[in-house]
Amino acid sequence: MSTSLFDPYKIAGLELKNRFVRSATWDGMADELGAVTDASVALYRKLGKGGVGLIISGYAFVSPVGQAAYGQYGAHTNDMIPGLSRLVQAVHQGGAKIALQLVHAGINSNYLHHRGITALVVSSMREIGRPHREMTEEDIEVTVSDFASAAVRAREAGFDAIQLHGAHGYLMSQFLSPLYNFRTDRWGASAENRRRFHLEVIRRIRNVVGTDFPLMIKFGVQDDDERGLSLEEGLEMAQKMFKPGIDAIEVSAGIGVAVRVLKKSDPEQVYFRDRAAAVKRAVTVPVMLVGGIRSLEMAKSIVDSRDADLISMCRPFIREPDLVSRWQRGDKEPARCISCNKCFTAVVKGEPLECEQLKRNSMDRLGEP
């Protein structure tokens, strides 16, 4: 039976108006302290009005030593709560729900290096030249507490849910992957021990926010390196996260894969569909799929085949914040995003997050160079 992508859908009691999710997207609009700015609020207001059911914020660092990039939102101090509340209000005014994504970068941060800060890492790695030191037991305990404290701030700020960033090579990925975790204590040395950090963070957050606040994870279920996390072990991790309190899983990349850059003529490529389908068969919680989805037809195929429950997109909403509304109005042309990746290049340069291709086309029409 065909499923309507525009019907309401629930995640642990949180009702979304449809099955579309705006995946967490770094916009580089926070100030130098990590606080929300007027530009941030304007962006999220536009997204909230665009028809998407759930918006996941750009990643917010839980500790200054866990910051990944400049312009990144912070959830590390109570001073951040008023600004984060502004994001929530802007999104709610448009009829969408919003989750705060929480992250600790670990070794995956050039920002700390440029600030002269020594990164905390799961295991020391000679091949990484940036200053870093292996986390002690006390460091790990503090970091787990930092995640829990940030989760409390998210709830106080009015967010509808939390998402942990357990993908893309950040600290949670580093603990889980044998590519980064060489520890011989209770946080490493075996698959069971490498899973411990995830489970402790989930338990601690669940203890402080209660049972009625949705807790999700963006999860790199497999590393793209044969020496790294296998799909089999990733699926075991996905199953074990349910008991301590995970309510939904967004399937994404682990360690070793970059965002794809496609040509306009390339066919639609849904990068992690097979992995999401495997997770969907292994767990009972809702599964989101992100990566390469560009058409309503493909989105329906994914949900109708039960490879995933929700459709998550990132770059298409940079070019078309109202994409879901357009589709719902009956204009079923694929997303105008061509996956050129120039939007992210702009942010790296410190420029506003916007579709560079769209901006260039507009200049061409105006006769500008």
**Annotated catalytic residue 170:** yes
User: Please, what is the average pLDDT of the chain?
Assistant: 92
CA–CA gap between residue 300 and residue 352 (Å, rounded):
32
Is residue 3 situated within a structural domain? no
* Active-site residue identified among 9, 59, 73, 170: 170
pLDDT, position 340: 83
Mean per-residue pLDDT for 321-339?
A: 94
Tell me whether residue 1 is in a domain: no
Can you spell out the DSSP letters for 183-201? --STTSSSHHHHTHHHHHH
Cα–Cα distance, 68 to 53 (Å, whole number): 27
**198 falls within a domain:** yes
List pLDDT tens digits, range 61-112: 999 999 999 999 999 999 999 999 999 999 999 999 999 999 999 999 989 9
51, part of any domain: yes
Residue indicated by tokens 């916009």: 27
Reported as a single tens digit per residue, the pLDDT across 246-281 is 999 999 999 976 555 555 566 788 999 999 999 999
**pLDDT tops 50 at residue 235:** yes
Instruction: Find out whether 35 and 41 touch, Cβ atoms under 8 Å.
Output: no
Domain count across the chain: 1
Residue 183 lies in a domain: yes
Domain-located, residue 2: no
| Helical packing angle, 81-93 and 137-157, nearest 10° | 50
Would you list the DSSP string of 123-136? Answer: S--TT--S-EEEPP
* Torsions phi, psi for 21 (to 5 deg): -125, 135
> What is the arithmetic mean of pLDDT over 193-216?
98
> CATH no. for residue 231?
3.20.20.70
Mark 302-328 as b/e (b = at least 16 C-beta within 10 Å): bbeeebbbbbbbbbbbbbbbbbbebbb
pTM beyond 0.75: the answer is yes
> What 8-state DSSP symbol labels residue 268?
P
pLDDT tens for 295-305 read: 999 999 999 99
Answer positive or negative: Cα dihedral of 123, 126, 128, 130.
positive
**pLDDT digit string, tens, across residues 20-29:** 999 999 999 9
Residue 367: pLDDT band by 50, 70, 90 thresholds? very low
Query: Quick one: average pLDDT of 31-39?
Result: 97
Q: Is 43 part of any domain? A: yes
Confidence of residue 353 (pLDDT cuts 50, 70, 90): confident
What pLDDT score was predicted for residue 264?
59
Residue-number span of the structural domain to which 147 is assigned = 9-366
4 inside domain: no
Q: Is residue 342 very low, low, confident or very high in pLDDT (cuts 50, 70, 90)?
A: confident
Which element (helix H / strand E) includes 288? strand 287-290
